[in-house]
């Protein structure tokens, strides 16, 4: 029963779509194609133009300077972090070398 209802709805929907297309096809064929394309091009150009005008109106050297300074600060912090990591490594290596030298002296002292 459900399958039969689904088939009826499908057939009626398809018939409705066909009826609409049959009515509208002559009207669509009468429209000139060039005007539709020109309108789309003009619409796109106007849209791009509005975006450019908005950006020009909202242009501010302060915003650009602020963004640049924030990025510069981030890079400086990254460099600082990298340098601190290198310093920690060097400190550990120096400490190890110092301990090794002390151990060598220890045995020399005991022998004397």
Residue of 47 and 86 predicted with greater confidence: 86
Residue of 103 and 11 predicted with greater confidence: 11
Residue 85 has what pLDDT?
Answer: 97
Cα–Cα distance measured from residue 11 to residue 6, given in angstroms and rounded to the nearest whole number: 9
pLDDT classification of 93: cutoffs 50, 70, 90: very high
- Nearest CA to 72 out of 61, 83, 64, 84 is that of 64
Instruction: Show the domain range for 107.
Output: 33-111
pLDDT at 43 over 80: no
How many domains in the chain?
1
Does residue 21 fall inside a structural domain?
no
Residue 30 has what pLDDT?
Answer: 79
Average pLDDT of span 94-110: 75
Residue 22 has what pLDDT?
Answer: 86
Does residue 20 fall inside a structural domain?
no
Cα–Cα distance measured from residue 96 to residue 65, given in angstroms and rounded to the nearest whole number: 47
Does residue 86 fall inside a structural domain?
yes
Average pLDDT of span 11-33: 83
Q: How many residues does the chain have?
A: 112
pLDDT at 87 over 90: yes
Residue 106 has what pLDDT?
Answer: 64
Does residue 91 fall inside a structural domain?
yes
Does residue 24 fall inside a structural domain?
no
Provide the 8-state DSSP code for 56. Answer: H
pLDDT classification of 112: cutoffs 50, 70, 90: low
Does residue 103 fall inside a structural domain?
yes
Does residue 58 fall inside a structural domain?
yes
Does residue 84 fall inside a structural domain?
yes
């Amino acid at each position: 029963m459900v399958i039969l209802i689904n088939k009826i709805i499908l057939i009626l929907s398809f018939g409705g779509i066909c009826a609409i297309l049959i009515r509208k096809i002559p009207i669509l064929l009468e429209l000139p194609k060039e005007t539709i394309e020109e309108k789309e091009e003009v619409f796109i150009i106007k849209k791009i133009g509005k975006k450019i005008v908005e950006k020009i109106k909202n242009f501010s050297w302060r915003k650009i300077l602020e963004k640049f300074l924030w990025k510069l600060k981030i890079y400086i912090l990254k460099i600082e972090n990298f340098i601190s990591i290198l310093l920690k490594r060097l400190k550990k290596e120096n400490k190890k070398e110092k301990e090794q030298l002390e151990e060598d002296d220890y045995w020399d002292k005991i022998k004397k």
